[in-house]
Amino acid sequence: MNEFYRGRRLRRNPVIREMVRETQLSAADLMMLYFVVDTTDEDFKKEIPSMPGQYQLSLKQLEKTVGEAVDAGLRSLMLFGIPKHKDAIASEAYAPNGIVQRAIRMLKAKWPDLQVVTDVCLCEYTSHGHCGILKEGDTCGEVVNDPTLELLAKTALSHVEAGADMVAPSDMMDGRILAIRETLDKAGYVNTPIMSYAVKYASAFYGPFRDAAGSAPSFGDRKSYQMDFANGQEALREIAADLDEGADVIMVKPALAYLDVIRDASREFNAPLAAYNVSGEYAMLRSAVDNGILAESAIYESLLAIKRAGAKLIITYFALEIAKKLKEGTV
């Protein structure tokens, strides 16, 4: 009679450990992110100081870098645009020949099967850095919700018209999914899915991204529209609302500090779930690995933890690095 559980039987060698492994990570689980800059310098490639190994790219350099990712086995990416001109109504966000629109057309012409997803928000394009329209004279950053919906829907439509496979609104305005869904459907794009940043916390982990995209608010903060990081039940309400409005994929952002929310969402809803491993999470791990504080395997371990928590798709700046290692069999 066995007196205790002998779990080590299934850990004795690499083959048996792989046989019983519960969670696997593949290139198909990963989505890479790119910052494309509206510039006349075709060779523009600027490393982001707070995100070593990540770059602001011209269209030409984007093509080159994405080619490397495709060769590594990545199948999807997300685009963020950095315009030449910013104004109070984010006009470059929905300009037919805006930087993201041009990038989409270039990528889809080169790789028709590559899934090109676009971030839909106005913060990179507004002169004040907030994610929507402000009242005249506002000094707090309280975005006016309903007028902003029209511009978000207009931006999403411009991306889809350029060839985007999926749009991902990240603004956290109430009703944005419905507004975008109705606009796309009316224009005949009934089969274009929406990935909603359904759960986006007002997090300190976004700092490096705001350096990369030049999108930090010039005054106030985003706490009146992004979620309080103390709340978990609120996340479930936000997801339910977005699914009711027509979201096809839901997202939790950030990821590593919110694994409990990812797990709750995966158990509560029968919908594809993405998790955004954000810039601050990347910067912490990148620094720890580069300085010898952690082994490089900590990167793979952290991404596997996100998937184990319930995410079906991981949006991460580590995507290319890990895809290469998966292809080489060196993870």
Q: Which two tokens stand for residue 34?
A: 């790119």
Q: Is the pLDDT of residue 264 over 80?
A: yes
Cα–Cα dist 144/138, whole Å: 10
**Cα pseudo-dihedral 244, 248, 252, 256, rounded to 10:** 150
The reported pLDDT for the residue numbered 280 is 96
Contact 209, 254 (CB under 8 A): no
Contact 48, 55 (CB under 8 A): yes
Report the candidate in 15, 60, 14 with the shortest Cα–Cα distance to residue 34. Answer: 60
Active-site residue, 154 included: no
- Sort strands 249-253 and 195-200 into parallel, antiparallel or unpaired: parallel
- pTM (predicted TM-score): 0.94
CATH superfamily entry for domain 24-328: Aldolase class I (3.20.20.70)
Q: Is the pLDDT of residue 12 over 70?
A: yes
Q: Which two tokens stand for residue 201?
A: 């916390």
Q: Is the pLDDT of residue 1 over 70?
A: no
The reported pLDDT for the residue numbered 209 is 84
Helices and strands (H, E) in the chain, number of each type:
11, 12
* Angle value at C-alpha 256, between 69 and 37, nearest 5 degrees: 40
The reported pLDDT for the residue numbered 277 is 98
**Cα pseudo-dihedral 39, 55, 106, 30, rounded to 10:** -160
Whole-number average pLDDT of the chain: 94
Residue-wise pLDDT tens digits, 163-173: 999 999 999 99
Q: Which two tokens stand for residue 128?
A: 């004040």
Residue-wise pLDDT tens digits, 44-97: 999 999 999 999 999 999 999 999 999 999 999 999 999 999 998 999 999 999
- Which one is catalytic: 200, 307, 324, 325? 200
Active-site residue, 312 included: no
Residue scoring higher pLDDT (222 or 242): 242
Q: Is the pLDDT of residue 35 over 80?
A: yes
- Which one is catalytic: 64, 84, 135, 253? 253
Confidence class for position 331, pLDDT limits 50, 70, 90: confident
Which DSSP string do the residues of 274-324 spell out, in sequence order?
A: EEEE-HHHHHHHHHHHHTTSS-THHHHHHHHHHHHHT-SEEEETTHHHHHH
Residue-wise pLDDT tens digits, 106-161: 999 999 999 999 999 999 999 888 888 887 776 676 889 999 999 999 999 999 99
Cα–Cα dist 92/125, whole Å: 6
Mean pLDDT of 170-180: 95
